[in-house]
Amino acid sequence: MKLPASLFRYREAKAEDLPFILDAWIRSFRNSPFGRTLTDEAYRQIQSEAVTQILQVASVLVVCLADDPDCIIGFVCHGKTKEGFTLIHYIYVKHSYRNAGLAQQLVTRIK
């Protein structure tokens, strides 16, 4: 399902976005093989610490609605390796917007 590009806006994450990014990342990773082996409490603690550490050194690009820049649809958390290669830590798009090419657009817009 391809949606018109004019519906979306891409921008760097702001401090106000971090609670959504942290929560979406932790919740969406819960069903991974790693996440399924832990209790809810242990999983949340371990993931919160890990994601918080990554967010302190990485960059985050978000996609939001063009007419509501505070309504985040998805994000990509990325950085650079010592060799200068792009490293994607995590990419997320809300379920209702998946298969619309937004993840691909996020990746192509990483600087």
DSSP state of 67: T
Token pair of 41 as six digits: 């409490």
**For 81, phi and psi rounded to 5 degrees?**
-80, 170
Which amino acid, residue 65? L
Decide if pLDDT at 1 tops 70: no
What pLDDT shows up at residue 2? 75
Residue 24, CB half-sphere, CA atoms under 13 Å: how many? 18
- CA-based angle 6:93:9, to the nearest 5? 25
- Give per-residue pLDDT as tens, 45-61: 999 999 999 999 999 99
Decide if pLDDT at 103 tops 80: yes
Unique residue bearing structure tokens 């809810």: 40
